[in-house]
Amino acid sequence: MNTQIFPTVSSYGYNFDFIRDEIRALVEKGVLSRHQPIYSVAQFIPAREWAGVEKNLEEQDFLLRDSIADLLGAERWDND
């Protein structure tokens, strides 16, 4: 299953907020789980773009084995 959500642009065009928002969208769609490691996202990103995304995540001190929940941070619930 390849549901590429990331547009085909240069990997240098991905900033951290964009990456996090796109991963959050995959989690909200139920395609990914918050408990999966970050490297699970690689299947949704073109291979030629992955190196740039990986570098960007590492610059933010995220390891690919960290969970997606660590990347997304705390969730806010409007109905609490």
The pLDDT tens digits of the residues spanning 58-76 come to 999 999 999 999 999 866 6
Residue 25 lies in a domain: yes
Residue 1, in any domain of the structure: no
**Domain assignment of residue 67, yes or no:** yes
The reply to whether 53 falls in a domain is yes
Q: Is residue 4 part of a domain?
A: no
DSSP state of 50: H
pLDDT in tens, 32-56: 999 999 999 999 888 888 899 999 9
Ordered DSSP codes for 13-42 = G--HHHHHHHHHHHHHTTSS-TTSBGGGGG
Say what the alpha-carbon torsion angle 40, 18, 29, 69 is, to the nearest 10 degrees: 60
Number of domains making up the chain: 1
Task: Supply angle C-alpha 32, 37, 38, rounded to 5.
Answer: 80
Task: Give, in degrees to the nearest 5, the angle at Cα 72 between 47 and 7.
Answer: 35
50 assigned to some structural domain: yes
